[in-house]
Chains A and B, each alone.
Chain A
Amino acid sequence: MADAPSVQDPTTQQTPLLSMQGISKNFPGVKANDSVEFEVRAGEVHALLGENGAGKTTLMNILYGLYQPDAGEIRYRGEVVTFRSPRDAIACGLGLVAQHFHLARRHTVAENIALGLANTPFIFPTRALRERLRELGNHYGLGVNPDARVWQLSPGERQRVEILKALIQGAEILILDEPTSVLTPQEAEALFQVVEQMTSESRAVIFISHKLDEVMRIADTISILRKGAVVGRLKRRDANPARLAELMVGRTIAPPERTSDGLRDRIVLELKGVWVRGDRGVDALKEASFRLQSGEILGVAGVAGNGQAELIEILTGLRQPSRGQILLDGEDITPLGVRGLFEAGVAHIPEDRNHVGIVPGMSVAENLVMRQYRYPPFARGALLDQKQVTRFARSSIDQYDIATPSKDTPSRLLSGGNVQKVILARELSGDPKLVVASHPTYGLDVSAAALTHELMLSQRARGAGVLLVSEDLDELMQLSNRILVLFAGQVMGTVDVEEATSETLGMMMAGAPQEAALGATTDA
């Protein structure tokens, strides 16, 4: 569509539905938005692209009336408006699907939607809603049971509820904040179709993302935000991923160089017939056996929920296997707990970095020594040597380029990428034998992800064994030497990265044995 030789671009004709001019917003120590110009026209998808912490969400919170700007104005159909609260924004046809859903988990879908409607009846507020929910659901393919309670719904379904809520409120302009971060690729594609249908009905969509491929897939216009300021605006037909990435991070990003592998002189990790019982009482891992050499990255692929989480947990001491043996450098570490495994040389980069990886309310320095605080030089008997803590914190902040106002700043105030740097600095500081990394770049911006990749590679070069669990096949193929596939708790096989294709891996992830998958894809 965008490449079609259109005589006149219809989206440049009318006045913008909504425009923001000279918007600035300061938070203590941070310029979140700096004289931002932004506009959106009917029938258009306008993507707001930027790294985490670039100010996208702040800008949208201003647009939705949740924050007041320090300077600048918002115009709706050319007229200046002031949004003191979301109520005002909703009245001008705005709808927000926030990254963290605004839903009461114990309430039903209908109850959650009813509260946002101006014409909800005083008595029996959800009664009249059902019919409209069904109509809209059918129209957009967003079917949700109105009587289901939100906690029973998957993240994708919760997102549908948010979209339905906005549509029922009469949203002409829908803001989607990182909408695909909770979706499977198929659900994301379904969302894109909903977006396309909305724009075909001359609604406008503001699509916030830091993922280049989906912005290229769905956007008509792309505004790039960096450090609170708009650094570029282009039509999709004039954009390409490399150009967008460069604008987004302010420099060209080279793909990580395949550094030499480390010395493969020993087996770092070996699992022998390991069974693990999951939370629901069923076996999450069934007789898993594999080996990981020094100087090697072993990728673990699989659809979420096929035993990856339990594998991570037994390797880091958070869960005990019910049968089988785990060897680290030939020694049995099966019975060791979290502390024992750390002392034995296992580093853990957890999936949920904000809750498992750090203590959000404690300072950067405290989080940096969260593992090592009990050993010298940080501990002197029962006392903490604050000088050593400070020295370690300063050197980590320098070495990993952690963007923090000070070492005493609470970690929750850091952006996702910087939280990950704190974790990496802590976990990798003792030159671990084994690095267990779970979705280490999930939700990170391009430059933080690149740094994480570099660190994984340098751990391999140093001779550590790295176990990398990820749902991103590109990432696995880029970094791993071998890729192990888990399906329903079983190891389906291990593929050398040279032989691996996404088709082979995909078939194995769906339960095909390795030989069959390799055979099928080489025949084709």
Chain B
Amino acid sequence: MEVDQVTYTVARALAFSTPLLWAALGEIFAERAGVVNLGVEGMMILGAVAGFIVAQTAGAPYLGLVLAATVGAAAALAHAFISITLRGNQYISGLALTIFGLGFSGLIGRSWVGKPLGTPMEFITVPGLSEIPLLGPALFTDQYLLTYVGLVTAALLWFILYYTRPGLALRTVGESPAAADATGTSVTLVRYLAVVFGGLMAGVAGGYLSIAYRPSWGEGMTNGMGWIALAIAIFSLWDPLRAVAASFFFGAFFFLSFLLQKVFPPELLTLLPYTFTIVALTVVALGKEGRAFGAPEALGLPYRRGER
């Protein structure tokens, strides 16, 4: 019985951590390019409502997911325009996006509340691997395809970030836009792509919630997950592979906070990710100048050529 409970907890934590991972990976790319997007929560929920409506009307869950990603990307485009082209305050623009997303999704989703999705995404069980004792039931039984795609994406993004030319361009734009500009790399283009990619990933995360994990629509159903994703981006020190671990870690905490709410105050458990984030930020801040990890140096700063 106890072993079953552990494998079950791991399995559910994995499922719960999937949207956190997708959204965090997107935010990591945006922030690596130097743009903070506090609109993750808003982009997620817009993706969730759009994905649900399309999946419900068309009866096609994956079409819903495509739309969720598109809507997330479109919302991010607005943030990109304000923060990159207009050089507005990134924090204000991102917050506005979250508030807008929460409100607007509630408005358009009003008539869809409480109706379960007719054609949700199906569980998959990985043939062969699911037979492994312990690991099989924990990791390879009754999961959604997006969980595995998310993990592969994380590895791919990690490789792109550190070992390819576009990754180098992205990191340079976030560390020193002037250096990137002087080599002929377009700071504007790289930042737009990164922010829109971040929105796309947040949209997928939202779609996963409303089409797969909890196949229904409810107002505010993202329930703060966007903020956790932002915390993961920091906690993982802007590294896609560490984000996998951090997402799972936070996912487990959240799942446990439901499970153990009789014995342990869930508020305390839900506080923990933020506490860890503060600790992580402190460690980064205490680190020596120029340490390999730490926030991208140009994070949050608009770039203008030749500005003193």
Contacts and interface: CB of A to CB of B under 8 A. Distances in A.
Contacts of A87: 184
Contact of B168 (A101, A102, A125, A412): A125
B262 interface: no
A84 to B, nearest CB: 10
A173 B183 CA distance: 15
B142 interface: no
B183 A105 contact: no
A107 interface: yes
Given A115-B168, A121-B165, A123-B163, A66 B181 contact: yes
B289 to A, nearest CB: 6
A123 B181 CA distance: 21
Given A66-B306, A106-B294, A123-B163, A151 B289 contact: yes
Contact of A102 (B182, B186, B290): B182
Nearest to A127: B163
B297 A106 contact: yes
Contacts of B178: 100, 102
Contacts of B181: 66, 85-86, 102
B164 A85 contact: no
Contact of A86 (B164, B166, B176, B182): B182
Contact of A104 (B176, B186, B308): B176
Given A67-B305, A103-B179, A106-B294, A85 B184 contact: yes
B218 to A, nearest CB: 43
Given A66-B305, A66-B306, A105-B290, A115 B180 contact: yes
Contacts of A413: 308
Interface string B183-213: 1111000000000000000000000000000
Nearest to A105: B290
B83 interface: no
A122 B164 CA distance: 5
A104 B306 contact: no
Nearest to B165: A125
A102 B176 contact: yes
Interface string B283-297: 000000111101001
Contacts of B180: 104, 115
A152 B292 CA distance: 11
Contact of A412 (B165, B186, B308): B308
Contacts of A120: 165
B234 interface: no
A112 B294 CA distance: 18
A42 interface: no
B169 interface: yes
Nearest to A413: B308
Contacts of B294: 106
Contacts of A98: 182
A413 B183 CA distance: 26
Interface in B79-137: none
Contacts of A125: 163-165, 168
A57 B180 CA distance: 19
A360 B164 CA distance: 39
Interface residues of A, number: 39
Contacts of B175: 104-107
B182 A107 contact: no
Given A86-B181, A105-B290, A123-B163, A67 B297 contact: no
B164 A123 contact: yes
A115 B185 CA distance: 8
B277 to A, nearest CB: 21
Contacts of A101: 179
Contact of B169 (A96, A100, A115): A115
- Chain B interface size band reads 20 to 34
Nearest to B291: A106
A181 to B, nearest CB: 16
Contacts of A122: 164-166
Given A86-B182, A115-B185, A103 B176 contact: yes
Contacts of B306: 61, 66-67
Chain A contact residues, majority secondary structure: loop
A107 B172 contact: yes
A513 to B, nearest CB: 37
A149 interface: yes
Contacts of B183: 86, 90, 102, 115-116, 165
A360 B70 CA distance: 43
A101 B291 CA distance: 19
B164 A112 contact: no
A103 B178 CA distance: 8
Contacts of A115: 165, 168-169, 172, 179-180, 183, 185
Nearest to A112: B179
A114 interface: yes
Contacts of A105: 175-176, 290, 297
Contacts of B305: 66-67
Nearest to A98: B182
Nearest to B183: A116
A111 interface: yes
Contacts of A103: 176, 179
A92 to B, nearest CB: 12
A193 B289 CA distance: 33
Given A96-B182, A104-B171, A115-B183, A124 B290 contact: no
Interface string B47-82: 000000000000000000000000000000000000
Nearest to B296: A106
A456 to B, nearest CB: 27
A61 B179 CA distance: 14
A98 B305 CA distance: 13
Interface in A369-389: none
Interface in A113-171: 114-116, 120-126, 149-152, 165
B161 to A, nearest CB: 12
A120 B166 CA distance: 10
Contacts of B290: 105-106, 149-152
A11 to B, nearest CB: 28
Nearest to B169: A115
B201 to A, nearest CB: 22
A120 B183 CA distance: 12
Contact of A106 (B166, B185, B292): B292
Contacts of B176: 102-105
A121 B184 CA distance: 16
A114 B182 contact: no
Given A102-B179, A106-B292, A116 B184 contact: yes
A86 B184 contact: yes
Contacts of A112: 172, 179
Interface string B231-269: 000000000000000000000000000000000000000
13 contacts: A66-B182, A102-B176, A103-B176, A104-B172, A105-B176, A105-B290, A106-B291, A106-B294, A106-B297, A111-B168, A123-B165, A149-B292, A150-B290
Interface of A: 61, 64, 66-67, 85-88, 90, 96, 98, 100-107, 111-112, 114-116, 120-126, 149-152, 165, 360, 412-413
Given A86-B184, A412-B308, 12 more contacts: A85-B181, A102-B181, A102-B183, A104-B180, A105-B175, A106-B291, A115-B179, A116-B183, A123-B163, A123-B165, A124-B164, A149-B292
Rank and list the top 3 A-B pairs by shortest CB-CB distance, nearest first: A87-B184, A151-B290, A116-B183
